[in-house]
Structure 1
């Protein structure tokens, strides 16, 4: 639940550099690497041709406001369900080491064998 809240409130930008129609680089946390084809106006002032490269920036915004609800804000039926569910869920798991073993001091009786069946000797 905490990860869901964290990821829903995080905002970030995705920068993309295209050279023509070909995607050259994508960056989330740093600047994109240029392909070296873009022209600076200071280097070539006489050229009026547009560069084939373009940069796009996609901004993905997270939630700005979170509503915090308390247990008293939800309806009575939902409160009853949550209490019943949590009670049955926590009682579902029992520690097996706490169980008392009733027969730990009990020694089994001596087994009495039927000698005729064991030796397979029958009177005919």
Structure 2
């Protein structure tokens, strides 16, 4: 089992299934996205540049997607918190992931990288 796989399979349900589904949705967005591990969390890179991370909030115990260039994205569900550059999108693991909305947001984020 790879370090990437271990992150997912060491989680309890419903987070495990949710995180695996998020992983699949992210990887399907573009053939240039590759998964690695940075800072102990799954990192998805677009052409070797960090694009999004997956993590579980230590307080709520719910998964979220961290958008590296979140400050450049305007979406009502993205939270900046105390971060100046990054924003997160919280994902409720017990309801269906809004796949179309998530794909649209991921594509908007990818467009920031494609234009560079």
TM band (smaller chain): under 0.3
- Which structure shows the higher helix fraction? 2
TM-score, structure 1 normalization: 0.20
TM-score, structure 2 normalization: 0.21
Report which structure shows greater RCO (CA 8 Å, sep ≥6).
Answer: 1
- Which structure shows the higher strand fraction? 2
Higher gyration radius (CA)? 1
